[in-house]
């Protein structure tokens, strides 16, 4: 494997070796630090949605809306949408312990999404829509249609009294087979997507992912860019060839400012400053599931999402 970094970085010994601290609060946080805040307690709400990926089922919720502890609801409210992969369900992936989705079925991999959000210290609402429940399918359902993301967020956030007009930054992320849903949400979802993260998930839809990046290349420039695209892939997950090919294409997109792109084909651990570039391609030595279990928190902690004044 080779290391092709288009910026100069200092790397550690392995991408699962350590956890790193979150960056300081943004200047917007500091400027409003003295304003009164009605802090909210943690909430994990299973909800049924007309505008979920698929029709409401009596067997499982359409989505889970998770509000972290000591949440600051002062607008703008940031939102993270996460799509799970094959043969899983939202009640399992948000939790800490592998459990069966279908009664009597096999235990499925948990991804500690709520715990990772808490560890990141970011002030964001996590929305986890159900796609194909406990099936080996990447069918995005209504999330793959025009304005599907807008309809999902309008209804889901209504359960925590957050109007879409109050939403600030929006991040969409997928693990494994969730790539079809996030490709559509980022390009035709009807809501501007500030960051798009693929966790061993680049199996296809490359035209849409290319289009997402090229729609506004300037927004990926500078440290702490306005937008980020991250593709983190494993050796054996089936995404390596597509990931390296997209990184090769990206080189030709950023000739005016090569520092936008980090293409790391080693499995070394990144310090925080590397994450603050706009286009991130990272080969991981972790397992297919381990990629999402580790890097979701890392991407959150190094994002431009706000911190809470309630902590």
The reported pLDDT for the residue numbered 76 is 97
The reported pLDDT for the residue numbered 29 is 46
Global pTM reads 0.90
Mean pLDDT of 97-122: 97
Contacts of 107 (CB under 8 A, 6+ apart): 98, 99, 100
Which residue has tokens 């790397």?
11
- CATH number, domain containing residue 202: 3.40.50.1820
Is 233 inside any structural domain? yes
Split into its structural domains, the chain has a count of: 1
* DSSP per position, 174-196: EEGGGHHHHHHHHHHSSS--SEE
Is 308 inside any structural domain? no
Mean pLDDT of 65-87: 97
* Nearest alpha carbon to residue 270 among 309, 302, 292, 310: 302
Is 307 inside any structural domain? no
Is 21 inside any structural domain? yes
Name the residue range of residue 166's domain. Answer: 3-301
Is 306 inside any structural domain? no
Is 75 inside any structural domain? yes
Q: Quick check: 18 pLDDT over 70?
A: no
Q: Quick check: 25 pLDDT over 60?
A: no
């Amino acid at each position: 494997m080779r290391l092709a970094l288009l910026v100069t970085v200092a790397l550690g010994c392995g991408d699962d070796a350590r956890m790193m601290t979150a960056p300081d609060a943004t200047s917007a946080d500091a400027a409003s630090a003295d304003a009164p805040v009605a802090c909210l307690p943690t909430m994990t709400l299973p909800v049924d949605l007309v505008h979920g990926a698929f029709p409401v089922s009596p067997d499982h919720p359409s989505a889970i809306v998770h509000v972290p502890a000591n949440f600051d609801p002062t607008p703008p409210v940031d939102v993270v949408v996460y799509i799970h992969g094959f043969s899983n369900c939202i009640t399992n992936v948000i939790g800490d312990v592998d459990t069966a989705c279908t009664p009597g079925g096999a235990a499925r991999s948990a991804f500690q999404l709520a715990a990772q959000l808490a560890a990141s210290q970011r002030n964001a609402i996590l929305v986890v829509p159900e796609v194909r429940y406990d099936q080996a399918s990447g069918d995005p359902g209504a999330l793959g249609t025009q304005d599907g993301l807008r309809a999902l967020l309008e209804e889901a956030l209504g359960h925590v009294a957050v109007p879409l007009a109050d939403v600030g930054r929006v991040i969409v992320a997928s693990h494994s087979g969730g790539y079809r849903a996030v490709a559509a949400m980022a390009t035709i979802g009807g809501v501007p997507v500030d960051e798009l993260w693929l966790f061993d998930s680049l199996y296809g839809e490359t035209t849409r992912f290319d289009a997402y990046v090229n729609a506004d290349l300037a927004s990926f420039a500078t440290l702490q860019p306005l937008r980020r695209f991250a593709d983190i892939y494993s050796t054996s997950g089936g995404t390596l060839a597509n990931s390296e090919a997209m990184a090769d294409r990206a080189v030709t997109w950023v000739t005016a400012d090569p520092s936008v792109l980090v293409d790391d084909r080693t499995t070394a651990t990144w310090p925080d400053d590397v994450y603050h570039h706009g286009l991130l391609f990272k080969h991981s030595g972790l397992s297919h599931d381990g990629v999402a279990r580790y890097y979701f928190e890392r991407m959150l902690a190094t994002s431009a999402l706000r911190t809470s004044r309630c902590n």
